[in-house]
Amino acid sequence: MYKIQTLNKIAEKGLDLLPHGQYEIASEFNEPDGIIVRSFKMHEMPFPISLKAIARAGAGVNNIPLERCSEKGIVVFNTPGANANAVKELVLCSMLLASRDVVGGVAWTKSLEAPADQIPALVEQGKANFAGCEIKGKTLGVVGLGAIGALVAKDALALGMNVIGYDPYLSVDGAWELSNDVQKASGLETLLKSADYLTIHVPLLPSTKEMYNAEKFAMMKPGIKIMNFARGELFKEDDLLDALESGQIGAYVTDFPTTKLIHAKGVIPVPHLGASTEESEENCAIWASRQLKNFLESGNIENS
Ligand code: MLT
C-alpha cells in the first residue's frame, strides 16, 4: 500500500486515479511514499526516509526545497501547462481591469445610498470618475513565452493589440511557433521601452529575483500597466512602490499581494487566483497523480 500525503486541497478527479486498495491518501502521515502539494511552503518540513517523490500540482516549484530533495534522492514533478489556460484568462481579464476602472466603479455603485428613483441620475453623474482606455492598438510586452506567455500573446493579438515578446530561454524559432504576428524583441530593454502593458511569465530563480527594479522601471513608458501572475519576488518592492507613487507605473495587478502593496496607489491586489479554476485544479491534480503513480509503480519519470 502506497501512502500519499496531500498538503493542500487536491481535486478528487486526480486523486481518483490512485486506486483505493493500493493507495492510502491523507493530509497527515508519518511515513508517506509520495506528497502532492499545491502552494504549501515545504522549506521547514522534515522529509522522512520513506519519501520518494513530491508532485507539485502547478508550475512554480519555489515552495519546495529542491536542493534538499536532490540530496535525499527525492524526485520532484510539476505540471507546467496544466493551468496555463486559467492563468491566461485572468491575465487578459486583469489587463482590462487595469484599463477600465470596473473595480472602483463597482465599489462606488454598491456604496450608493439613495432612493431608488435617484440611482440612475447618480450613476450618470458619477461615471465620469471611472472612464478608462481601450487596449486595442496598444502594445503588450510578454516576457517569457512558455505555456502561459505564448497563450497570452496569441489571444492579445486577437484583441487587436500589438504584441512584442521576449524569452531568453527559448530559441527564436521555438518561441514564435504560435504566431508570426508576435514581434521579436532583440532584448528585454527593447521590449520594456515599447510596451504600454507588460505581463511576465518567468520562474522565480536566483537570477530573476528582484530583476524588475528602479533601473528597469526607468526604461518603461510612463504610466505602463503591469500584470504579475508569475511571482511577487520578481519585483523589488520598495522600487515598485516608488514607481507607483510617482505614476511611472500606472497600474500593477498582482496575484501576490503584500501588506505594503495592498493599499498602494495603482495596485489591484488579487488573492493568488491565477490557477484557481475548476478545470485547472482538476488538470493539475490529474497530472500530479499520474506522475506519482507512474513513478511509484514503475519508476518512470515523466513530467506530464
Ligand atoms: C503555479 O505556480 O502554477 C501557481 O502558483 C499554481 C497555484 O496557484 O497553485
**CA 131 to ligand 1 center in whole angstroms:** 33
From residue 230, how far is each of 146, 187, 222, 304 by CA, in Å? 12, 20, 22, 20
Pair (99, 36) in one structural domain: no
Work out how many domains the chain is built from and give that number.
2
> Does 304 reside within a domain?
no
Strands (E) located in the chain: 2-6, 23-26, 34-37, 53-56, 75-77, 139-143, 162-166, 183-184, 197-200, 224-228, 249-254, 267-269
Pair (14, 158) in one structural domain: no
pLDDT of residue 174: 57
**CA 39 to ligand 1 center in whole angstroms:** 7
Q: Look up the ipTM and state it.
A: 0.91
**In terms of C-beta distances under 8 Å and separation of at least 24 residues, what long-range contacts does 150-156 make, across chains too?**
150/175, 150/177, 150/178, 151/84, 151/85, 151/88, 151/178, 152/88, 152/91, 152/92, 152/199, 152/201, 153/178, 153/179, 153/182, 154/178, 154/179, 155/88, 155/92, 156/92, 156/95
**CA 84 to ligand 1 center in whole angstroms:** 10
> Does 222 reside within a domain?
yes
Residue 257's domain comprises 84-269
* Stated pTM of the model: 0.93
> Does 147 reside within a domain?
yes
**CA 108 to ligand 1 center in whole angstroms:** 32
First to last CA, the chain: 24
Which triple of cell numbers denotes residue 101?
Answer: 476602472
**CA 60 to ligand 1 center in whole angstroms:** 6
- The closest residue, in CA terms, to atom 8 on ligand 1 is 275
pLDDT of residue 177: 63
Pair (46, 178) in one structural domain: no
- The closest residue, in CA terms, to atom 4 on ligand 1 is 58
- The closest residue, in CA terms, to atom 6 on ligand 1 is 58
Residue 80 Cα: closest atom of ligand 1: 3
Pair (69, 89) in one structural domain: no
CA 262 – CA 244 distance, rounded (Å): 12
Pair (145, 240) in one structural domain: yes
> Does 78 reside within a domain?
yes
Predicted confidence pLDDT, tens digits, the chain (304 residues): 999 999 999 999 999 999 999 999 999 988 999 999 999 999 999 999 999 999 999 999 999 999 999 999 999 999 999 999 999 999 999 999 999 999 999 999 999 999 999 999 999 999 999 999 999 999 999 999 999 999 999 999 999 999 999 998 776 555 556 677 999 898 999 999 999 999 999 999 999 999 999 999 999 999 999 999 999 999 999 999 999 999 999 999 999 999 999 999 999 999 999 999 999 999 999 999 999 999 999 999 876 6
Orientation of helix 84-99 relative to helix 147-158, angle to 10° = 50
> Does 121 reside within a domain?
yes
CA 194 – CA 245 distance, rounded (Å): 22
Neighbour count for residue 92 (Cβ, 10 Å): 20
Residues with C-beta less than 6 Å from any ligand 1 atom: 38-39, 58-60, 83, 272, 274-275
Pair (181, 263) in one structural domain: yes
Whether the Cβ atoms of residue 122 and residue 182 lie closer than 8 Å to each other = no
> Does 35 reside within a domain?
yes
Pair (253, 120) in one structural domain: yes
Beta bridge partners of 140: 163, 197
pLDDT of residue 107: 97
> Does 133 reside within a domain?
yes
**CA 272 to ligand 1 center in whole angstroms:** 8
CA 166 – CA 183 distance, rounded (Å): 9
CATH number at 78 reads 3.40.50.720
**Alpha helix (H) residue ranges in 101-185:** 102-111, 119-126, 147-158, 172-175
Pair (124, 248) in one structural domain: yes
Residue 8 Cα: closest atom of ligand 1: 9
Beta bridge partners of 2: 23
pLDDT of residue 256: 98
How would DSSP label each residue in 41-86?
--TT----TT--EEEESSS--TTS-HHHHHHHT-EEE--TTTTHHH
User: Which residues are CB-neighbours of 229 under 8 A, at least 6 positions away?
Assistant: 87, 90, 91, 94, 148, 199, 201, 255, 274
Mutation test residue for ligand 1: of 6, 85, 272, the one with most atoms within 8 Å of CB: 272
**CA 275 to ligand 1 center in whole angstroms:** 6
Pair (108, 70) in one structural domain: no
> Does 303 reside within a domain?
no
Which triple of cell numbers denotes residue 221?
Answer: 513608458
Pair (104, 211) in one structural domain: yes
Residue 57 Cα: closest atom of ligand 1: 9
pLDDT of residue 169: 76
Pair (147, 205) in one structural domain: yes
CA 31 – CA 155 distance, rounded (Å): 45
Residue 200 has φ and ψ, to the nearest 5°, of -120, 130
Pair (262, 285) in one structural domain: no
